[in-house]
Structure 1
Amino acid sequence: MKLIDIVQLTNNKFLNMYKLKLINRKGNPKDYFVASRRDRLHLSCVTKDHNVCDGVMIIPITEDGEIVMLKQYRPAISDYLYELPAGIVDPGESIESAAKRELYEETGLIAKSYEVYLKPSYTSVGLTDETTAIVKMVVEGEITNEHAEADEDLEVFKLKISDAKKFVESHNVSIKGALILMSL
């Protein structure tokens, strides 16, 4: 495949649609649609920079060996999903700063330690060039969702790590969260 042109179809703050005009290996034109958090000049297909980080996902673990989870409403499915805390990396923000900010906003907790668990990786490359880094943190403080953004409908709770696999089997858990929980 060869990329010939990119047409921006929407102009929104957090997510846009692009039509990639391609030529396949037989010389035939093909259109491919991509959602991205990036502007046209910073799309992965333009920059070929696979180290950019668009978002962070946090594995928050208490000193008592519990993992902090969210039950969050997701408009795309019009239902609640169990997830790990996560969010967008703001322009100029480091992965660590974004992870600490998102942890506090969504859970009210503070990070005592920070470790990159997975460098920025593509989340669903068939649909988007979005990348997410996963960080593991030992956390402390009182759980609250009072710092969450007004449009975030979420409930924060703790889950014993020893119960994580059973939880995934019986609840609607995001694939990224489920993979992490199954590996603990």
Structure 2
Amino acid sequence: MNLYEKTTNKTSIYEGKIIDLEVHDVELPNGETSSREIVLHNGAVAVCALTPDNKIVLVEQFRKPLDDTMLEIPAGKLEIGEEREEAAMRELEEETGYKAKSLQLITDMYGSPGFTNEKISIYLATELLPGETHLDEDEFIEIHELSINEAQEKLANNEINDAKTIIAIQYLLLNYNHSK
């Protein structure tokens, strides 16, 4: 069965600093029509940083759409034309002060493909060197370093519920000795 939805018309509703919003009129596989609200995003990166003593570096920050703080791996949006690995290194240093000698792609993911094209590349950063943070003027972050077991406990207690962070912690649980 062909599942493709052909766009017959698109209307730009909003063009913002981080996202654009379009409405697409589509022809469905059965010949009927519908509309799709689509959030366009340049993409993002996230970094699962693991210290030499097997601590995962997390950042806590306020997330206005949730009106609450979230405990997450460092992450941020891609600048126009920026390579993903370069963005991952930049975000890690900006938010945590750490620089990584080693960076490895864990996965690319789409958090909500029903309405946005945002692709997030999640990297594992190891061989960390301490440095200084370089936060944006409107960015306020508290840094946490948790053992993988502590992070697993926070997952079990629903204290970490950010998708990219859950993926990163699950990756560490499957691939690293977390007895420390």
Question: TM-score, normalization: structure 2?
Answer: 0.85
Question: How far apart in 1 are the matches of 2:109 and 2:161?
Answer: 20
Question: How far apart in 2 are the matches of 1:182 and 1:166?
Answer: 12
Alignment gaps of 5+ in structure 1? 39-53
**Which residue in 2 is equivalent to 1:135?**
123
- Deviation, 1:123, is 2.2
- Deviation, 1:81, is 0.8
Select which of 136, 146, 153 maps to 1:166. 153
Select which of 130, 137, 147 maps to 2:134. 147
Question: How far apart in 2 are the matches of 1:85 and 1:123?
Answer: 16
Select which of 9, 26, 29 maps to 1:25. 29
Select which of 41, 45, 48 maps to 1:59. 48
* Amino acid aligned to 2:39: A
| Residue 114, structure 1, aligned to residue 114, structure 2 | no
Tell me if the contact between 1:63 and 1:140 (Cα under 8 Å) persists in the aligned partners: no
- Deviation, 1:21, is 0.6
* Amino acid aligned to 2:65: A
User: Which secondary structure does the structure 2 equivalent of 1:10 belong to?
Assistant: strand
- Deviation, 1:154, is 1.7
Tell me if the contact between 2:58 and 2:72 (Cα under 8 Å) persists in the aligned partners: yes
- Deviation, 1:182, is 2.9
- Deviation, 1:36, is 1.1
Tell me if the contact between 1:72 and 1:153 (Cα under 8 Å) persists in the aligned partners: yes
Question: How far apart in 2 are the matches of 1:130 and 1:95?
Answer: 13
Question: How far apart in 2 are the matches of 1:110 and 1:179?
Answer: 22
Question: How far apart in 2 are the matches of 1:93 and 1:16?
Answer: 19
RMSD across aligned positions (CA): 1.6
Runs ≥4 residues deviating over 6 A: none
Alignment gaps of 5+ in structure 2? 173-180
* Amino acid aligned to 2:14: T
- Deviation, 1:3, is 1.2
- Deviation, 1:180, is 2.0
Size of the aligned set, in residue pairs, is 166
Question: TM-score, normalization: structure 1?
Answer: 0.84
User: Which secondary structure does the structure 2 equivalent of 1:90 belong to?
Assistant: coil
Q: 1:115 to 1:183 in 2, by over 3 A?
A: closer
User: C-alpha offsets along residues 92-111 of structure 1, whole Å, 9 cap, x if unaligned?
Assistant: 22111101100011111111
Tell me if the contact between 2:44 and 2:78 (Cα under 8 Å) persists in the aligned partners: yes
Identity %: 27
| Residue 90, structure 1, aligned to residue 94, structure 2 | no
- Deviation, 1:153, is 2.5
